[in-house]
Amino acid sequence: MPSLSDPVSTLNGVGAKLEQAFNAKGIDSVYDLLLYLPRKYIDYTDITDISKLKPGNVSIKAHFSNVTFRRARRGLSITEAIASDTTGSVRIIWFNQPYRKDSIRLSEQYYISGEFKLSNRRLNIINPYIEQAGEFNNDSGRILPTYSESKLLSSWMVRKAVKAALPLSNQVKDMLPEYLISSLKLEKLDTAIINIHTPSSIDELDKARQRFQFNELFPQLLANELANIERLKQKTIKVPFNASLAKEFVAKLPFKLTNDQRRVIWQIYQDMGQSVPMNRMVEGDVGSGKTVVAVMSALMAMAEGYKVAFMAPTELLANQHAETINKLLAPLGLNDSLVLLTGGMKSASKKAAIEKANKINGAFVVGTHSLLTSGVDWSNLALLIIDEQHRFGVDQRMSLQKQTNHLPHFLSITATPIPRSLALTYFNDLSISRLKEMPSGRRQIKSSLIAPGERSKLKDELVTQLSAGRQIYVVCPLIHPNDKSDDVAAEVIFKQYSKQFTEFKVGLIHGQLDLSAQAKVMKSFASGKINILVATTIIEVGVDVANASVMVIYGPERLGLAQLHQLRGRVGRGEYQSYCYVVLSDSLSPSPRLRQFTKLTDGFELSELDLSMRGPGAIYGKLQHGKGMFSGLMSLDDHKLITKVQAGIKLFIDKKDSLNKYPELKMQVQEAQQMTYLN
């Protein structure tokens, strides 16, 4: 009998080749395999007689005949078959699944599940899943799990291996305290493991899922709660509100603050006046005016002689922010207190910057994440502003605390909003302010999809803009072509545009150029020497050229909604009507995601849409082991689950229980306390 820690190859039927395929998926031990959860289920329980089929999702039990295969238009292949039961026959069609023809056994009965719908003026079942009837135990239901597959690993193989491992499920130790399981009436873990892999009814499956969802959410929310409890215990520098300073600053701005800006600044001032460290995020679309909010927050600390640190994700952005902040502080003469400190600076200027930061009263220090370990004396740091990072991990907090002896007020600013439901559940320790109102006078960017047949029309549009003196970004999802079909690689598009737009100067920028070369290209674009900038997604954040009015995006299928929206935000920053062209890679009908993107201009709406389409797992980054924070089972609209988890946390905390008693839980809590990035 194998044990949980044994390699998967100890299981019956798992040879060296299959083991490798498992290893490639991160499954090494029998334990890993038991916790390799299905991605989805195909429900063959509700079998309909073929004579009674109605359009929609259907399951039938039938045998196949007349299987044919042909290649149709460029790239498209069609496999057709007739499926028959005792009541009638129906045509089955698979597109681009050429292996179907040879894998179907005419002598066998199959369960067939797919959409029964009109195609070519006939009702057919299109692209169904099929399963040999003999594959099912008579005593188990016909809800079939499918797993994340690879070339060498099919769901069928996973199911077989899992079956061999299931008898060991009662050895998997539950990470949760016993009292939680009993008082919250959670399903036993071994039952949940068995039923998630081999459910015999939808009801059983739901119960198993709930247990896994609980196990997934509990450590995350417990981590937040513990961090929050720690934060509330801390004492930090109280920064008093100075009304006349705020008034003077506002009076000298070249514009009037929006109502949202004023509301958010006021929230921040109230937080900073407390001795509990603020933990606040300001969300606002590109151009909503987050910088001025950050600067006004800093003002109060500077006036009291405290330091402020501003951390940007890259040096390029740190430089740009410093320039903007300088302009905002200048009317009050406070720009003398601004210090730029980045890793790329020569050591003499670095030294001078550190000295200056330490010497003057109320320095505003701008740099990248290395700021905190740069040698500046942070003992009087009152406010830490973090740009485009969603979490300040526990490790970072601790290293900061070592240098400051206190936690400063935290303010993060971002153009990638956290969807409301995630914010309420997952980020429950964070106060969120939203800048929804855009400064007046902004024009909406016009977005459209470009089908392959419309590329020459696109060229005409670009020429019109270029001739009017505007500049253009062209963004590609990769640098080099991986194979011939990668005609969306930046190098390929750069060559193509250089040939097509001979009267204009085309530039190329990507992450493999060294920093000074990148800076040079950016400078030429900013000064208008380059008309068309072909780039990778490195220009996603921060780059600011008011004369650029067109964003062309190739290979949009590979980019997330948030990323597309960020890219679009690179244009429309000046007075000119701006455009975003999303160039589709093929002539298939575009995904709902891309269609929605061209319709919606509001980042908040897009983030909700992104969440509902991709789920939290796809949006929130992977932790160290490549295991997602959310397995994909999670649904954050599940208020019953969330209430249960919150009740569990309350139990745990009221009991003053210690994580040290639950090593596995502790590990997961610690993992959750690491940083989380949006992707």
Among 199, 219, 277, 284, binds ligand ADP (CB under 6 A): 284
**Residues with Cβ < 8 Å from 430, sequence gap 6 or more?**
279, 280, 281, 423
Cβ neighbours around 74 below 10 Å, total? 7
Binding mask 437-476 for ligand ADP (x = CB under 6 A): --x-------------------------------------
Taking CB under 6 A as the rule, does residue 292 contact ligand ADP?
yes
CA distance 220 to 631: 13
Q: Residue 258 in contact with residue 439, Cβ under 8 Å?
A: yes
According to CB under 6 A, which one of 79, 288, 563, 631 is a site residue for ligand ADP?
A: 288
In the complex, least distance from residue 426 CB atom to ligand ADP, rounded to whole angstroms = 24
Closer by beta carbon to ligand ADP, 169 or else 261:
261
Minimal distance, residue 129 CB to ligand ADP, in Å: 46
CA-based angle 172:177:221, to the nearest 5? 100
Asked if 331 touches ligand ADP (CB under 6 A), the answer is: no
- Tokens representing 350 are 């670095």
258 forms part of the interface with ligand ADP (CB under 6 A): yes
Site size toward ligand ADP (CB under 6 A) is 14
Give me the residue label for tokens 């169904």. 128
* Distance in Å, CB of 259 to ligand ADP, minimum: 9
- Cβ-based neighbours of 139, under 8 Å, separated by 6 or more: 200
d(CA 445, CA 442): 9
What are 596-599's contacts with CB under 8 Å, separation 24+? 596/561, 597/447, 597/556, 597/561, 597/564, 597/565, 598/447, 598/448, 598/449, 599/447
Interface residue with ligand ADP, options 61, 197, 209, 290 (CB under 6 A): 290
Among the listed ranges 44-52, 282-290, 364-372, 487-495, the one in contact with ligand ADP (CB under 6 A) is 282-290
Residue 257 interacts with ligand ADP (CB under 6 A): yes or no = yes
CB atoms within 10 A of CB 553: 25
HSE-CB at 532 with a 13 A cutoff on CA atoms is 26
Give the range of 200-208, 231-239, 289-297, 300-308 binding ligand ADP by CB under 6 A: 289-297
Nearest CB to ligand ADP, comparing residues 145 and 417: 417
> What would the two tokens of residue 299 be?
């003002």
286 binds ligand ADP (CB under 6 A): yes
Q: Write out the two tokens for 39.
A: 């991605």
Looking at beta carbons only, is 190 or 437 nearer to ligand ADP?
A: 437
Which residues between 71 and 110 bind ligand ADP (CB under 6 A)?
none
Q: Write down the least CB distance from residue 188 to ligand ADP, Å.
A: 50
CB of 636 to ligand ADP, least distance (A): 27
Smallest Cα–Cα separation from 33: which of 179, 232, 205, 172? 172
Q: Measured at CB, which residue is nearest to ligand ADP?
A: 289
368 lies in the binding site for ligand ADP (CB under 6 A): no
Give burial (CB, 10 Å; 0-12/13-18/19+) of 480: exposed
Which range of residues in 154-162, 200-208, 255-263, 395-403 is near ligand ADP by CB under 6 A?
Answer: 255-263
Torsion of the alpha carbons at 104, 110, 111 and 113, rounded to the nearest 10:
30
Tell me the pairing of strands 431-435 and 471-475. Answer: unpaired
Residue among 88, 273, 287, 331 that touches ligand ADP (CB under 6 A): 287
Q: C-beta of 676: minimal distance to ligand ADP in Å?
A: 22
CB under 6 A: which stretch of 178-186, 280-288, 338-346, 465-473 binds ligand ADP?
280-288
Residue 325, interface with ligand ADP (CB under 6 A)?
Answer: no
Q: Which of 95, 241, 255, 677 is the binder for ligand ADP (CB under 6 A)?
A: 255
Residues that bind ligand ADP (CB under 6 A): 255-258, 261, 284, 286-292, 439
